[in-house]
């Protein structure tokens, strides 16, 4: 009984603490709860302590204090800006660095070319989308032969197999031989999907190899520009090609 009474008293205290403001002070605005006041007061005291610490640090600062970073910083429009230091390298060192970059790009390009050749040998490029379509030209003597021409009859194959670029057996072969290999439609679709995935991978690798070749050419051009010989720009640099310069012919000693 006593426990129930204490519980009821606590609930009444909670209701009293969280009740809305009295009607006679509505014109003063919302009545702030104690927990909101504590949060606001703690935030105010924290900011005041931070300002006092900054003020104390400014008062105790040594005017003769020195940092090595001060030698690389200058004041520009009221903002401290760090000066950019130039790399101290000789022209020979710079040429060597460019050469190392060219060798690395060339190494990556050769690796991509080897992967492309391996993929081409596996896929045989039978139905590759980027491959130029082959043409089969038939010759006739008269217009009547052209009008009566049937490609399936001419190739001795079924009409359903005419569009194939590979695995196009003749009718005699279809009548004599039994169908070999997987014939389930789901399995055939999965094989075609995997083959198309390999063709997409091959296309991406060919594009990557082209980009690496262009990058290597541009780096080599920048390396050649380090030479002090007179030169004239013949063609501007583009996304797909480096700039072209014509150098003055000079006999080597």
pLDDT for 228-252, tens place per residue? Answer: 778 888 888 888 888 888 888 877 7
Low-confidence ranges of the chain (pLDDT < 50): 1, 5, 12-18, 128, 130
Which pLDDT belongs to residue 234?
86
The DSSP-derived string for the chain is -HHHHHHHHHHHHHHHHTPPPPGGGGGG-PPPPHHHHHHHHHHHHHHHHHHHHHHHHHHT--TT---GGGGGEEEETTEEEEPPPPP---HHHHHHHHHHHHHHHHHHHHHHHHHHHHHHHHHTTSS-TTSPPP------SSHHHHHT--HHHHHTS-GGGTT-SS----HHHHHHSPP-S---HHHHHHHHHHHHHHHHHHHHHHHHHHHHHHHHHHHHHHHHHTS-S-EEEEE---SSS--EEEEPP----
Which pLDDT belongs to residue 89?
61
Task: Give CB contacts under 8 A, 24+ apart, made by 235-240.
Answer: 240/214
Which pLDDT belongs to residue 178?
65
Which pLDDT belongs to residue 142?
87
Which pLDDT belongs to residue 93?
66
Which pLDDT belongs to residue 196?
84
Which pLDDT belongs to residue 56?
93
pTM of the model: 0.45
Which pLDDT belongs to residue 198?
85
Q: How far apart are CA 117 and CA 183, in angstroms?
A: 30
Which pLDDT belongs to residue 181?
57
Which pLDDT belongs to residue 172?
76
Which pLDDT belongs to residue 8?
52
Which pLDDT belongs to residue 17?
47
Which pLDDT belongs to residue 16?
41
Nearest to 99 by CA among 210, 207, 226, 242: 226
Please write the tens of the pLDDT for every residue from 79-88.
888 877 666 6
Phi, psi of 51, rounded to the nearest 5 degrees:
-65, -40
């Amino acid at each position: 009984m006593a426990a129930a009474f204490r519980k009821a008293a606590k609930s009444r205290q909670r209701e009293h603490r969280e009740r809305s403001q009295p009607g006679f002070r509505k014109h003063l605005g919302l009545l702030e709860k104690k927990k909101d006041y504590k949060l606001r007061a703690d935030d105010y005291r924290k900011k005041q302590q931070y300002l006092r610490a900054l003020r104390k640090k400014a008062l105790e600062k040594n005017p003769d204090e020195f940092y090595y970073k001060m030698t690389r910083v200058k004041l520009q429009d009221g903002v401290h800006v760090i000066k950019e230091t130039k790399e101290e390298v000789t022209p020979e060192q710079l040429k060597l660095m460019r050469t190392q970059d060219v060798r690395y790009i060339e190494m990556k390009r050769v690796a991509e070319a080897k992967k492309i050749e391996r993929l081409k040998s596996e896929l045989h490029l039978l139905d590759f989308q980027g491959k130029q379509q082959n043409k089969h030209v038939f010759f006739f003597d008269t217009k009547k032969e052209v009008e009566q021409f049937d490609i399936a009859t001419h190739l001795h194959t079924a009409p359903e197999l005419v569009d194939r670029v590979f695995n196009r057996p003749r009718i005699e072969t279809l009548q004599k031989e039994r169908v070999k290999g997987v014939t389930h439609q789901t399995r055939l679709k999965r094989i075609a999907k995997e083959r198309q995935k390999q063709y997409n991978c091959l296309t991406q690798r060919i594009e990557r190899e082209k980009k690496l070749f262009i990058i290597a050419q541009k780096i080599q051009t920048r390396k050649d520009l380090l030479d002090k010989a007179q030169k004239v720009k013949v063609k501007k640099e583009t996304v797909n090609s480096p700039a072209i310069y014509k150098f003055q012919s000079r006999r080597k000693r």
